[in-house]
Amino acid sequence: MCIFCEIANKNIDSKIVYEDDFCIAFNDVAPAAPTHVLVIPKQHVANVNEASSELLSRIMQAVKEVVKALGISEYRLISNCGESSGQTVFHLHFHILGGKNLGKLCD
């Protein structure tokens, strides 16, 4: 089974920071910034290309709740879509990165 489905089903431990009926958010296991949280839908969808507008809207609502809970108002929100973008887990997720000056987006 998909590793993020396993996390959403609580079969694999993760540091969960937020949960609602549609989404779950947990700390990235290999943080790229002092704050690095992943927000995922509980439903398995590979990436943005496969997600409905309604699901994306639910996830964006969750993102806003997560950053409120984390106490941050400045952050970078990234969703890699496809291998060449850097996507390695093919269950839709949004990275919330913050807690430092993140610099430019790409080299």
Name the residues annotated as catalytic: 93
The answer to whether residues 28 and 38 touch, using CB atoms and an 8 Å cutoff, is yes
Spatial distance between the Cα atoms of 46 and 91, rounded to a whole number of angstroms: 4
Segment contacting ligand AMP by CB under 6 A, of 17-25, 26-34, 62-70, 98-106: 26-34
Task: Spell out the residues 6+ positions from residue 55 whose beta carbon is closer than 8 angstroms to its own.
Answer: 22, 41, 43, 45
Given 1, 71, 73, 86, the residue binding ligand AMP (CB under 6 A): 86
- 48 vs 72 by CB, closer to ligand AMP: 48
Structure tokens at 8: 């959403």
Segment contacting ligand AMP by CB under 6 A, of 48-56, 62-70, 83-91, 97-105: 83-91
Structure tokens at 52: 């409905």
The answer to whether residues 102 and 51 touch, using CB atoms and an 8 Å cutoff, is no
Kindly state whether residue 89 participates in binding ligand AMP, applying the rule CB under 6 A: yes
For binding to ligand AMP (CB under 6 A), which residues are involved? 3, 12, 14, 28-30, 38, 80, 86-89
